[in-house]
Amino acid sequence: MRIRAYIVAALLATAAAPAWAITWQEANKQSVDLMEAGRLIEAKDLAAQAADLYEKTAANYKAESHADLLLNMVDLTYRSEGIRAAVGASRTAIAALERKGAEPALTVPFWKEMAVGLENLGELEEAGSTYMRVNNMTRDAFGAQSAEHVVSLLETAFFARKNKSEVQGRRYVERAQEAVAGLPGDHVLRLVVDRGTAKMDMEQRNFAAAEKTYLGLVDKLKGSADKDRQELLKVVYQELAELYGKQGNAAKADAMVVAAKAVR
């Protein structure tokens, strides 16, 4: 589960056992304390209480703040009870935001986590429909050329390639390529799609095409001080190491591992 824990209130100084929370702020503070103390079940319960109290009692309700509290609740559910419980918590979070009339964009992180969770649980039919739902939601909420939509297409591509067919996986990669076709060749989002294309080629054992694309990415990314580009370069080196390993070229694979470690 990739959800980041969002903290709305400041940390308390101690990790004492909580009194019954009266306000959402108190519930959230106590949840943070318990999380820091490693008492994740209790922290999850108080995070859920904080989100519920915020929905029902916040004087100046903001859907973004509500979503942050719900993200924290889902994250703690995953950490304390596992994937299936977190999928259920994501459904609960979506329902809570929809009750308050929140913008659909705020529910996208929960739908994405549901898709990943359902895939990991082997519930592939519902996972596939959820990935496609995220495709549509990100396009409508953020735009067809947005990072959110393009990344969603790539995630769906690799789900489809793994669980359905290589043809379907390739089709989603092509949709991502079409979405970024109008961007400059060195735009970071276009480079992300190039990396997705190379990875798809590697997984389909089209090693020559994958290597050519990966090496082109190295040329475009080397020397940049931009953090996002440096992180992408590290991934490219790691996947080049994987590619050379699949080809049985240990020397080249080792050299790529060294190059990846050298990226700061």
Please indicate, yes or no, if residue 94 is contained in any of the structural domains.
no
| pLDDT for res 46 | 96
Alpha helices in the chain (DSSP H): 24-36, 40-57, 63-81, 83-99, 108-120, 124-142, 147-163, 166-180, 188-203, 207-221, 227-246, 250-262
What does DSSP assign to residue 14? Answer: -
- Our count of domains for the chain comes to 1
Please indicate, yes or no, if residue 32 is contained in any of the structural domains.
no
Please indicate, yes or no, if residue 96 is contained in any of the structural domains.
no
| pLDDT for res 166 | 84
Tokens (6 digits) for 15: 């990790």
| pLDDT for res 86 | 97
Please indicate, yes or no, if residue 156 is contained in any of the structural domains.
no
Q: What is the mean pLDDT of residues 237-247?
A: 96
| pLDDT for res 9 | 36
pLDDT in tens, 132-186: 999 999 999 999 999 999 999 999 999 999 887 888 899 999 999 999 999 998 8
CA-to-CA separations, 257 to 1, 67, 242, 250, in angstroms, rounded: 26, 39, 9, 10
pLDDT band per the 50, 70, 90 thresholds, residue 10 = very low
Reply yes or no on whether the pLDDT at 21 is more than 80.
no
pTM: 0.82
The C-alpha atoms of residue 235 and residue 137 are separated, in whole angstroms, by: 27
Per DSSP, the residues of 144-205 read TTSHHHHHHHHHHHHHHHHHT-HHHHHHHHHHHHHHHTTS-TT-HHHHHHHHHHHHHHHHTT
Please indicate, yes or no, if residue 89 is contained in any of the structural domains.
no
| pLDDT for res 22 | 76
The C-alpha atoms of residue 62 and residue 68 are separated, in whole angstroms, by: 10
Please indicate, yes or no, if residue 66 is contained in any of the structural domains.
no
| pLDDT for res 189 | 94
The average confidence (pLDDT) of the chain is: 90
CA-to-CA separations, 196 to 47, 116, 184, 202, in angstroms, rounded: 36, 18, 17, 10
Please indicate, yes or no, if residue 98 is contained in any of the structural domains.
no
Which structural domain range is residue 257 located in? 184-264
| pLDDT for res 198 | 96
Please indicate, yes or no, if residue 195 is contained in any of the structural domains.
yes
pLDDT band per the 50, 70, 90 thresholds, residue 237 = very high
